[in-house]
Amino acid sequence: MKVAFLGTGLMGLPMAQRLLAANIQLIAYNRTPEKLAPLQAAGAEIAAHPRHAIRAADCVILMLTNAGAIYSVLLSDTSWRTLAGRTVIQMGTITPSESKEIRDSVVNAGGEYLEAPVLGSIPEATDGKLIVMVGAYRDQYQRYLQLLQHFGSEPIHVGSVGCASALKLALNQLIASLTTSFAVSLGFVQRYGVDVDLFMQILRDSPLYAPTFDEKLQRMLDGNYANPNFPTKHLLKDTDLFIDEAKSVGLNVSSIEGVREILQMAMKMSLATADYSSLFSAINSDSNEEWETGSG
């Protein structure tokens, strides 16, 4: 099997590198060609246009930013015409509705489509320890299980196309909400002079604790948001997707809409490319009063 890998950003690069390390033939495309240099050095074939990568491969893996990028890269007129007989595995974060629409376009072109979004960040992608959630027919899941195991040892079949996308958005909503809730509590105890170590000791011994709190604690205390595994702008994008999709099925999204406001403030503070724990700075910013006045 020869694999075309489209999208080699923060997550796509280490995932593609794992395929190369397993001696899988790989042809790669990225809209920013400079990002392909490490893959080329490791032996990947490089495509100047997505249609060249698709035409040369049996299977196409997508790790692109959003549905708009997928339509531009995969479903442009020239690329769409090369999909016949190919399998497309979509591994980025998009909505269930978008995933189903893309599936229909791929199938109409004569290809087949699976979704397999992942939970985890750069370290897990590098080590092949991502949680891979697969939306597909059972036989498709079985046929591509071995390939997907390069990214995570136990890919989980969660249902048909759309189910895995929904599960991924639900989990990313928790990333945003849990991190925001922790940041508010951390800022609150700091303002009242409570010892942070004591706060964390009690929190760790309680059923309220989540490991992500410790993972983000030092970044928040130091205000060091460099070298992100997951930038603020990407969490905001996923939060927007969740809100739109959740509203469409009749859920009350007031709580996550408040989180979105905090993420938007972090963006205004030039923290778009910083680690998403930077929302702590937005919560503790001296400009909060101005923000609340302006947003009213």
Over the chain (296 residues), what is each successive 10-residue block's mean pLDDT? 96 97 97 94 95 96 96 92 96 97 97 98 96 98 98 98 98 98 98 98 98 97 95 97 97 98 98 98 74 42
Q: How far apart are CA 65 and CA 6, in angstroms?
A: 11
pLDDT of residue 77: 86
pLDDT of residue 285: 83
pLDDT of residue 288: 54
Which contacts qualify for 279-285: CB closer than 8 Å, 24 or more apart?
Answer: 279/179, 279/180, 279/183, 279/232, 280/183, 280/186, 280/187, 280/216, 280/219, 280/220, 280/223, 281/223, 281/225, 283/180, 283/183, 283/184, 283/187, 284/183, 284/187, 284/190
pLDDT of residue 296: 37
Q: How far apart are CA 276 and CA 214, in angstroms?
A: 14
Q: How far apart are CA 268 and CA 154, in angstroms?
A: 39
Q: How far apart are CA 14 and CA 19, in angstroms?
A: 9
pLDDT of residue 291: 42
Q: Are 121 and 230 in contact (CB under 8 A)?
A: yes
Q: Are 10 and 229 in contact (CB under 8 A)?
A: yes
pLDDT of residue 287: 54
Cβ neighbours around 76 below 10 Å, total = 13
pLDDT of residue 193: 98
Q: How far apart are CA 54 and CA 28, in angstroms?
A: 9
